[in-house]
Amino acid sequence: MIRPREIFLVIAIGVFWGLNWPAVKTILTEVPPWTLRASALSIGAVCLVLLTLAAGQKLRASRGELAWLALAGLFTVFGFNLLAAFGQLFAASSTAAIVAFTMPMWAVLLSALFLGEPITWRKTGALALGLSGLALLIGGEFAAVLARPQGVLFMLGAALSWAAGTVVLKARPWTLRPLARTTWLVGIAAAPLVVGAFVFENPLAMTPPTTPVLAIFVYHVAFPMVFCHAAWVLLVDRLPASIAAIGTLLIPIVGVLSSAVLLGDSISWTKALALILVLSSIVLTFAKRSTRT
């Protein structure tokens, strides 16, 4: 039985990560992608260390877990966050959110390849729906996508990276508790981002962001980077993967609607239908399992 705490976490993740799409788009107007992700995840990692210690949880991972933590951190946090930041430089936030949340669809394929999970007719239908949504989205904005295809390609890479990280997290049992595990994932992801920021962008020479952008950055660190990452790892740890994945359905809805309200992104009929098809693919993928839990 799902407890009220899990329901609260699902809703909170949907709202906070959904609002993060227009938030990141706004921050990127003044802060380049490597520097944004490096600073946000570095500060987030420090916050998570303090929270883990305050909760009395051990941070020391067993030797056998370190390689798996590194792999999960590089895929789930580093790959997704960096590719999503670059994707939003070349695509509208609403478009980016729709493409990013094809993640469960790719997780089905990767789970079949690496975890031996069967691809049923239901999963096959879900893949067809999701790919149809992507095709419709690209076709409806063909001129824009053709002019700047990097946006969709970066977001597809982000979705695949998150899916791969989810498979890694489910591939083995863990001795570390979820909060400590999240601290490792975020910290591991922050390290190469800091190196990349100094190699590609020289953040020390940058003009400091304006006060409104700085305020949005504080939100970005506190909720999407710290709270949402910890809540997601906790949900994956406590709930069946199907239920946790269904919780992500709220994120692109909030992302698309908030981008329309806060950034003025247009919601064309093709974009709306693409969103419906992608969400339908995720529901079809997990609905059967969820009704049994």
User: Which pLDDT tens digit goes with each residue over 132-159?
Assistant: 887 787 777 677 777 788 998 999 999 9
23-32, 139-148, 162-171: the lowest-pLDDT one: 139-148
Which pLDDT score is estimated for 243?
A: 58
Average of pLDDT values for 1-15?
Answer: 80
DSSP 83-136: HHHHHHHHS-HHHHHHHHTTHHHHHHHHHHHHT-----HHHHHHHHHHHHHHHH
> In the numeric block, which tokens belong to residue 33?
């992608």
CA neighbor of 13 nearest in space, from 240, 251, 233: 251
- Of the two residues 268 and 16, the one the predictor is more confident about is 16
- Of the two residues 16 and 279, the one the predictor is more confident about is 16
CB-count burial class (<10 Å; 0-12, 13-18, 19+) for 184: buried
- Of the two residues 128 and 161, the one the predictor is more confident about is 161
Residue 288 above 60 pLDDT? Answer: no
The pTM of this model reads 0.85
Average pLDDT, the chain: 87
What three-state secondary structure class fits 193?
helix
Confidence of residue 293 (pLDDT cuts 50, 70, 90): very low
- Of the two residues 127 and 173, the one the predictor is more confident about is 173
Crossing angle, helix 4-27 and helix 211-220, to 10 degrees? 150
Residue 205 above 60 pLDDT? Answer: yes
Average of pLDDT values for 162-185?
Answer: 92
Q: State how far the Cα of 158 lies from the Cα of 86, in Å rounded to an integer.
A: 10
Which pLDDT score is estimated for 158?
A: 95
Q: Which residues contact 116 (CB under 8 A, 6 or more apart)?
A: none
CA neighbor of 224 nearest in space, from 3, 7, 57, 21: 21
What's the DSSP call for residue 206? S
Residue 101 above 80 pLDDT? Answer: no
Average of pLDDT values for 31-58?
Answer: 97
Compute CA distances 28 → 56, 216, 267, 284, whole Å. 36, 11, 22, 35
Confidence of residue 172 (pLDDT cuts 50, 70, 90): confident
Residue 103 above 60 pLDDT? Answer: yes
Which pLDDT score is estimated for 58?
A: 93
Which pLDDT score is estimated for 246?
A: 57
Residue 249 above 80 pLDDT? Answer: no
Confidence of residue 252 (pLDDT cuts 50, 70, 90): confident
Which pLDDT score is estimated for 132?
A: 86
Average of pLDDT values for 85-105?
Answer: 84
198-202, 236-240, 274-278: the lowest-pLDDT one: 236-240
Q: Which residues contact 222 (CB under 8 A, 6 or more apart)?
A: 47
Q: State how far the Cα of 194 lies from the Cα of 81, in Å rounded to an integer.
A: 13
